[in-house]
Amino acid sequence: MNTLTAGAPAPAFSLLDQNGETVSLNDFKGKKVLFYFYPKAMTPGCTVQAQGLRDTKAELDAHNVVVLGVSIDPVKRLGKFIERDNLNFTLLSDEDHAVADQFGVWGEKNFTPE
């Protein structure tokens, strides 16, 4: 698995959003992109995370930051998540986890006791 390092350019991508429209990194030239990955829509932890971003959107907008959430969920599930939780940012479907692989965030979950 490749790991993206600080300061490295983000890998180019094109994914479908919650409406089935293609979204690419090039669509956001001149903007800051907060690109976050989450395991599965409408699960407790992912919901809290998405709601937190929803609730701070005005502040992010003021800093010219665009939020893009990415999961392996199908497009249809993303639309349901947005509707259910009143999300005000774009969700992207990476069903084959190809983009997650490019960013170095796809892999087997490890539970390490502390």
| Inter-residue contact 97 to 72 (CB < 8 Å) | yes
- Tell me what the mean pLDDT of segment 11-39 comes to: 94
Please indicate whether residue 46 is annotated as part of the active site: yes
Tens of pLDDT, residues 85-113: 999 999 999 999 999 998 888 876 665 55
33: number of Cβ within 10 Å: 14
Candidates 52, 96, 44; CA nearest to 70 is: 96
pTM for this model (two decimals):
0.88
Element (H, E) at 17: strand 14-17
Given 15, 23, 41, 46, which residue is catalytic? 46
- Percent of the chain past pLDDT 90, that is, above it, reads 73
Q: In angstroms, how far apart are the furthest CA atoms of the chain?
A: 43
- For the cut 70, the answer to whether the pLDDT of residue 44 exceeds it is yes
